[in-house]
Amino acid sequence: MPKISRLLIANRGEIALRIIRTAREMGITTVSIYSEVDKGSPHVYMADESYSVGEALSTSSYLNIDKVINVAKEANVDAIHPGYGFLSENSLFAEKVESAGFIFVGPSPNAIKIMGDKLSAKRAVSSFAVPLVPGTDFPVKDISQAKLEAKKIGFPIIIKASAGGGGKGMRIVNSINELDELFSLAVNEALKSFGNGDVFLEKYIMSPRHIEIQILSDSFGNFVHLFERDCSIQRRHQKVIEEAPSALLSDELRTSMGKAAINAGKSCDYVGAGTVEFIFDTSGSFYFLEMNTRLQVEHPVTECITGIDLVREQLRVANGEKLGFNQDDINVTGHALELRIYAEDSNNNFSPDTGVLSVYKRPQGPGIRVDDGIEEGQEVSIYYDPMIAKLIVTGPNREIAIERMVRAIEDYVIIGVENTLQFGKFVLTHPNFLNGDFNTHFIENHFKPEYLINDDNAKLALSLHNYFYSKKIYNSDSNMITSKWRLR
């Protein structure tokens, strides 16, 4: 007997739609929530039912635990899927969901808590054969202790906030002279941002690849991994392109990273879909960084190369079912890339842009998937994440997947809001990206705004490439009848 027949999706935008679609395929009734600015958004009318949770500001709506749980009661749902962001990695939320009698589609509150703190995560995985960056597995309390430990590790080192994430509270220290100042800056920033001044030290890995492993587990202790995603192409901790498989992992490393990732999951009795993040250095060693206890933005590339619907597996596992396959059943076919398209101006230091999407045409064709949560004519507001859409392509190999992505970018029309489509094309056509020679510093090393067209008219022409594209059309007398043709 399935327990989940009614599901609340505690999120908005593309991920809410992503979850609604799979739930519907499984015969589950979907309930969404919306803030006042999202009244006309697709996640409201795509769900079977939708409830208001308040004003635009996230703290008064999508982040308000009591309001979300009240909707769950009112709508009489069986389970809550948190998506990513918002309340997805809030252990207090998971706890309250469960104590109100609902199924939380995700791991236990305890697993979220362990992995939500970097030091406790490192301590948990340390006895489970997961390689760690040389460093301290305890908070460094004062500057004299910092000096002692830094000398043991050897410079350069990196100071990290235990409660941190997304690069906040991190400081790179190149020599002992800089340590005093950077240590107190890191502690103060950690205190101010997280209310927790615990920091630890690690050897700084200079030019790493960021490689993460998708895992899945059920409540019977079965674990599998779904291979890696290479997320090295990022800008200030904001991912830009993700791909699977990585252009550089050997099968041997892939297998040992997969095993390490499963062990990290076992260290906290993980249940559901999770991601274990590693950095990979130039000598081919990999080290655990952290574990994300949610479905990730970039999960589609894994779905594309494995054929596995990760949301379906999350819901099956939450429903108390066993994983439907074991490790040997999971195979990789082809290559997938995801480009995140942000409402940001790449000519103006990527400052967020807002406005109405006056024209919005998605690319189509074999191997193309667009995950978005907005329609033509709707407004991109200041209130939430600036990501407009994810363009995901699959091809038989990396080269063809890249060619396909470039074609899809050319066919994509986004007018009314500055966006990073052309920036994405710059990266995808860069020789170092093409030959797989890149690390997390790719954009700072290779991108200058001058490389993109800065002229408004030219930019418009580019975004209209396939909307009003110039083609030679001849009539029956072989006279050219037009040089402008409106697509569809």
* Residues binding ligand MV4 (CB under 6 A): 133, 158, 167, 202-205, 208, 210, 234, 237, 279, 289-290, 440
Closer to ligand MV4 by CB, 131 or 449: give it: 131
Least distance between ligand MV4 and beta carbon 231 (Å): 7
Angle between helices 65-74 and 91-99 (to 10 degrees): 30
Residue placing its CB nearer to ligand MV4 in the complex, 167 or 307: 167
Report how far residue 213's alpha carbon sits from residue 292's, in angstroms, rounded to the nearest whole number: 10
334 by DSSP, 3-state: which? Answer: coil
Instruction: Give me the least distance between CB of 150 and ligand MV4, in Å please.
Output: 13
Which one from 209, 294, 340, 404 is the annotated catalytic residue? Answer: 294
Shortest Å, Cβ 234 to ligand MV4: 5
Decide whether 290 or 411 has the Cβ nearer to ligand MV4. Answer: 290
Name which of 205 and 262 has its Cβ closer to ligand MV4.
Answer: 205
Closer CB to ligand MV4, 234 or 420, in the complex: 234
Here the contacts of 229-233 (C-beta below 8 Å, separation 24 or greater) are 229/298, 229/301, 229/302, 231/298, 232/208, 232/438, 232/439, 232/440, 232/442, 233/427, 233/433, 233/438, 233/442, 233/443
Least distance in angstroms from the C-beta of 166 to ligand MV4: 6
CB-facing half-sphere around the CA of 349: CA atoms within 13 A: 0
Q: Which residue number, 69 or 279, has a Cβ lying nearer to ligand MV4?
A: 279
Give residue for tokens 């064709």.
Answer: 365
Nearest distance from C-beta of residue 206 to ligand MV4, angstroms: 7
DSSP string, 20-70: HHHHHHTT-EEEEEEEGGGTTSHHHHSSSEEEEEESSSGGGTTT-HHHHHH
Q: Give the span between the Cα atoms of 394 and 244, in whole angstroms.
A: 10
For residue 136, the minimal CB distance to ligand MV4 (Å) is 11
> What's phi and psi for 342, nearest 5 deg?
-105, 150
Q: Strand runs (DSSP E) across 138-235, as ranges?
A: 157-161, 171-173, 199-203, 209-217, 223-235
Sign of CA dihedral 426, 431, 433, 434: positive
Kindly state the smallest distance separating residue 420's Cβ from ligand MV4, in Å.
17
Residue 294 designated active-site: yes
Q: Which is nearer to ligand MV4, 123 or 203 (CB)?
A: 203
Active site residues: 294
